[in-house]
């Protein structure tokens, strides 16, 4: 097709996680005149069933393998992309190395309101100053990480990846979490709260779904179940018996799993961090957890316990309604690409 915009998105891998789920969700539409492909530094997860619609142009052989890194860089330099999007720090480092030698528009994609470590921060701060455009997953991430003089070159990308139907769950004391079982998700606090909850509501049950990246002390006995990575269809099937989605992170950007849960009618029980308090309202369409005030847990638990079926249905409907008119990830990405496709790429000398 004439004047097709060739887009390349580079990420670490296509494992289970919010960033990866968004990339996998991109839906190709012949009417947009956009060719969209993906490079992964590690190809270990590229054959997962949910990746079948993702056009993977190249997959490396290991996330920390220097040969894989070199081959990905070589592929990037020879690919005839008009726009290249970089997600996460290793991918962004590829962009910093390639930028002086490639005449394409480079986009730094920020997926969280804070950096994980010094290397993550250093690489992204240099890329923000020198790349042509910035994508962010939320207003909160933009406020936290993007300098004011770069706001005009910044696009907020929706992380609504799919249109989801309500589960039709009734009020119970079944809680669920899906995502990475990682330290930064503060699963330790989640387990601590659930243990405290069980002292009042003995029938409370927790289900965790996702790849385990850290060994936590699971002490919930028969009131706890842990599944490994699942496809989203499997997650929906398991979630039909739950009423609440729980997330206890210290830091988040958009928190995509919360969005998914709300669309399906689950009431989120969450720490109000990142962009979450901008779309979740305490005791309205969500329930907030305050981990700086453990004494407030009893009040929160009492609120959950006293919810009637009518109260729960109202909160569930409000949660679902929050995302009724929101653009999808695909539509949001395409809109941003069309807006920046005619910009001249930045070929200036790097500033650090």
Give the angle 206-207-211 at the CA atoms, nearest 5°. Answer: 135
Query: What is the layout of strands, in order, in the sheet containing 267-270?
Result: 224-227, 205-209, 174-178, 244-247, 267-270, 287-288
Q: For the chain, which domains are there?
A: 5-160+327-340 (3.40.50.2000), 174-321 (3.40.50.2000)
- Identify the band that residue 109 occupies on the pLDDT scale cut at 50, 70 and 90: very high
| Furthest-apart CA atoms within the chain: distance in Å | 65
pLDDT computed for residue 78 by the predictor = 95
Distance CA 234, CA 236 (A): 5
Q: Binning pLDDT at 50, 70 and 90, where does residue 87 land?
A: very high
pLDDT at position 239 is: 94
Q: Tens digit of pLDDT for each residue in 318-331? A: 999 999 888 889 99
What pLDDT sits at residue 251?
85
Average pLDDT over residues 88-92: 97
Degrees (nearest 5) of the Cα angle 317, 318, 320? 65
Report pLDDT digits (tens) over 119-159: 999 999 999 999 999 999 988 899 999 999 998 899 999 88
According to the model, what pLDDT value does residue 170 have? 79
Q: How confident is the model at residue 162 (pLDDT cuts 50, 70, 90)?
A: confident
pTM confidence score: 0.77
pLDDT at 1: 47
pLDDT band at 181 (very low <50, low <70, confident <90, very high): confident
pLDDT > 80? residue 275: yes
Confidence of residue 210 (pLDDT cuts 50, 70, 90): confident
Strands 244-247 and 105-110: unpaired
> In this prediction, what percent of the chain has a pLDDT beyond 70?
93
Does residue 221 register a pLDDT over 60? no
Neighbours of 70 (CB within 10 A): 12
Is the pLDDT score of 13 beyond 80? yes
Per-residue pLDDT for 95 more than 90? yes
For 352, the token pair is 């650090």
pLDDT at 159: 82
**What's the average model confidence in pLDDT over 209-219?**
75
Q: Tell me the pLDDT band of 219, cut-offs 50, 70 and 90.
A: low
Confidence of residue 352 (pLDDT cuts 50, 70, 90): low
């Amino acid at each position: 097709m004439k004047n097709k915009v060739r887009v390349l998105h580079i990420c670490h891998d296509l494992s289970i996680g919010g960033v990866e789920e968004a990339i996998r969700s991109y839906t190709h539409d012949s009417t947009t005149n956009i060719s969209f492909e993906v490079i992964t530094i590690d190809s270990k997860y590229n054959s997962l069933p949910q990746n079948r619609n993702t056009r993977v142009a190249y997959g490396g052989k290991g996330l920390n393998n220097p040969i894989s890194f070199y081959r990905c860089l070589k592929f990037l330099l020879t690919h005839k992309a008009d726009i290249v999007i970089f997600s996460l720090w290793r991918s962004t480092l590829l962009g910093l190395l390639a930028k002086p030698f490639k005449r394409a528009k480079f986009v730094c994609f920020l997926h969280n309101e804070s950096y994980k470590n010094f290397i993550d921060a250093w690489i992204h701060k240099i890329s923000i100053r020198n790349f042509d455009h910035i994508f962010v997953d939320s207003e909160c991430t933009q406020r936290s990480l993007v300098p004011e003089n770069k706001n005009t070159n910044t696009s907020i990308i929706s992380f609504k990846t799919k249109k989801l139907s309500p589960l039709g769950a009734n009020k119970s004391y079944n809680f669920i979490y899906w995502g990475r079982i990682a330290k930064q998700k503060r699963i330790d606090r989640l387990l601590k709260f659930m243990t405290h909850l069980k002292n009042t509501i003995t029938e409370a049950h927790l289900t965790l779904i996702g790849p385990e990246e850290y060994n936590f002390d699971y002490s919930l006995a028969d009131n706890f179940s842990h599944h490994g990575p699942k496809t989203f269809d499997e997650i929906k099937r398991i979630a039909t018996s739950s009423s609440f989605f729980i997330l206890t992170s210290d830091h988040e950007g958009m928190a995509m799993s919360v969005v998914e849960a709300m669309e399906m009618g689950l009431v989120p029980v969450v720490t109000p961090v990142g962009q979450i308090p901008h779309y979740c309202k305490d005791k309205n369409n969500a329930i907030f957890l305050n981990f700086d005030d453990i004494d407030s847990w009893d009040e929160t638990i009492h609120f959950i316990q006293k919810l009637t079926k009518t109260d729960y249905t109202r909160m569930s409907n409000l949660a679902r309604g929050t995302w009724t008119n929101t653009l999808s990830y695909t539509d949001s990405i395409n809109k941003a690409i069309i807006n920046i496709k005619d910009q001249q790429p930045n070929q200036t000398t790097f500033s650090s």
